[in-house]
Structure 1
Amino acid sequence: MKELSLNILDVAMNSVAAGATLVQILIDESQTGKMILRIVDNGCGMDEQTLQHVTEPFYTTRKTRKVGLGLPFLRMTAEQTGGTFSISSTTKQQDPANAGTTVCATYDTTHIDFTPLGDLASTMETLIGGHAQIDFLLEHRLPQRVIKLDTREVREILGKEIPLDSYEVLAWIKAYLREQYEQQQIGGTQIDET
């Protein structure tokens, strides 16, 4: 994939398929030259056998196709920069209150093979538009600011009358995130912890 945001979309869709009600996309670029990406969900989790094979490119639990490349690609993008990849998971049978999966990838952003993040605004718009019943949190820590979107907060502001997947809300979400990233690119120094 040409940008990590597409890979993030693919992995987040795995979380949706696992029955998650909250998917967190946490990106930390607060240290120069390093990026940590974590995707955390509260879905059904994976058993030990699945967890052992999940990063193999030709292993999938899907019935629709015989190839699962989301996690293998994410692992490859991290390791090709000298970074690391890890995945941990707890099933509902193991611990119903803490079930879910955490994927973590670290990157050397100065490496020639680093894949750029890409269009996270469109990724979030796609996730929310296709799965408005699920909550998503994007938190991107940069050296001089934090860009954050939490659909739980958006829901609270909108109330029950206005769905997250309405055209106006999705357009606002995309515009809000694009504006935040544009401010970062032009050297905004504001620290936004909200």
Structure 2
Amino acid sequence: MKELSLHILDLVENSIRAKAKLINIFINEDIMNNFLEIIIEDDGNGMDEEFLSIVDNPFTTTRKTRNVGLGLPLLKAAAIRTDGDFQIISEKEKGTKIVATFKYDHIDRAPIGNMGSTIATLLSRVEKFDLVYIHQINNKRFTFSTTEVKEFLGEVSLNTPEVVLWIQDYINDNISTLCK
């Protein structure tokens, strides 16, 4: 995939299919230490040890519509290719945590991409879940929480087009201020 945000989109969609009610996304860009970390954690169905041992095989999937599952294997390959690491921790009925690390300035590291668009796409779905997105660049941090937005909006749904567009712009604007 050309952008890491597309990996994140795919993995969070897995969390939604696993019936997660809370999904946490954490991106840590530690440029001074040449380190990028992406953590996706959910409280979904989780995986048993047997499935966990084969889940990074591209021919392993729980979907009935196709016989391949490329999300995890592609992210793992992207991390390893950039002198990083990849780890999955999961427990049945407790949830899953995915940690991918990258050498920040590695020539093969894909750009992070448009996280505002990624989060907006996820929130435009009809499934009900809460999401916390934290993006840190060096010592500056931005946090977005659907719980807080829902409290502010009251009866207005998160997946209305106007709200989705506002969320996209809000996230992208705040990430850009982290870079200053």
Normalised by the length of structure 1, the TM-score is 0.89
Over aligned residue pairs, what C-alpha RMSD do you find? 1.2
Q: CA deviation at 1:42?
A: 0.2
Cα contact 1:60–1:67 (8 A) shared by 2: yes
Tell me the distance in 1 between the aligned counterparts of 2:86 and 2:139. 26
Tell me the distance in 2 between the aligned counterparts of 1:87 and 1:171. 32
Match of 1:114 in 2: 109
Following TM superposition, the consecutive aligned residue runs of length 4 or more in structure 1 with deviations greater than 4 angstroms are none
Q: Which runs of 5+ in 2 are unaligned?
A: none
Tell me the distance in 2 between the aligned counterparts of 1:129 and 1:123. 10
Q: CA deviation at 1:143?
A: 1.4
Are residues 1:17 and 2:17 paired? yes
Q: CA deviation at 1:175?
A: 1.1
Q: Deviations over 1:23-79 (max 9, x none)?
A: 111111135210111100000110111100100111111111001000001101100
* Deviates most, 138-147 or 34-43: 138-147
2:37 is paired with a residue of what secondary structure? strand
Are residues 1:169 and 2:159 paired? no
Distance 1:31 1:131, change over 3 A: farther
1:162 is paired with a residue of what secondary structure? coil
Letter of the structure 1 residue corresponding to residue 87 of structure 2? S
Match of 2:70 in 1: 69
Q: CA deviation at 1:109?
A: 1.0
Tell me the distance in 2 between the aligned counterparts of 1:175 and 1:89. 33
Q: CA deviation at 1:130?
A: 1.1
Letter of the structure 2 residue corresponding to residue 172 of structure 1? W
Cα contact 2:20–2:43 (8 A) shared by 1: yes
Tell me the distance in 2 between the aligned counterparts of 1:111 and 1:31. 12
Distance 1:177 1:132, change over 3 A: farther
Normalised by the length of structure 2, the TM-score is 0.95
Cα contact 2:150–2:158 (8 A) shared by 1: yes
1:29 is paired with a residue of what secondary structure? strand
Match of 1:29 in 2: 29
Letter of the structure 2 residue corresponding to residue 54 of structure 1? V
1:60 is paired with a residue of what secondary structure? coil
* Deviates most, 114-123 or 172-181: 172-181
Tell me the distance in 2 between the aligned counterparts of 1:115 and 1:31. 15
Match of 2:84 in 1: 83
Tell me the distance in 2 between the aligned counterparts of 1:134 and 1:109. 31
Q: Which runs of 5+ in 1 are unaligned?
A: 93-98, 188-194
Cα contact 1:132–1:163 (8 A) shared by 2: no
Distance 1:123 1:57, change over 3 A: same
